[in-house]
Amino acid sequence: MAIHKSAIQQWKRSLRRNAINKRNKSALRSQIKRLNEAINKKDQEAARKLLPPTFSLIDKSIKKGTIHENKGNRHKSRLSQQVEMINPSVPSK
């Protein structure tokens, strides 16, 4: 390994970026997991409430370079499709 000052600086920077990316990905996964739980429970109201903050987090992750733009768009498309497919349960009489 090179022992140049610039190489050491880049290595330290890569460690910081890695930690930041890991934190961002973890937050994104947690938010998507919350939304998926609402979808699996067929709770359309909760899912619709969770959709905008999830989209916001996806967009922020794309902007920061944590995930690729196509992956973010794929997530948004699939999640919104799943939320729209939830049929609200009809109360029994």
Q: What is the pLDDT of residues 75-87, one digit of tens each?
A: 999 999 999 998 8
Q: Which CATH number fits domain 23-84: 3.40.50.300, 3.40.50.720, 1.20.58.110, 1.10.10.10?
A: 1.20.58.110
What are the domain boundaries of the chain? Answer: 23-84
- Supply the DSSP symbol for 1: -
Q: Is residue 73 very low, low, confident or very high in pLDDT (cuts 50, 70, 90)?
A: very high
- Expressed in angstroms, the distance from the first to the final Cα of the chain is 74
Residues of the chain with pLDDT > 70: what percent?
A: 91
Q: What is the pLDDT of residues 14-26, one digit of tens each?
A: 999 999 999 999 9
Q: Amino acid identity, residue 1?
A: M
Please compute the mean of the pLDDT values over residues 48-58 and round it to a whole number. Answer: 96
Q: Is residue 93 very low, low, confident or very high in pLDDT (cuts 50, 70, 90)?
A: low
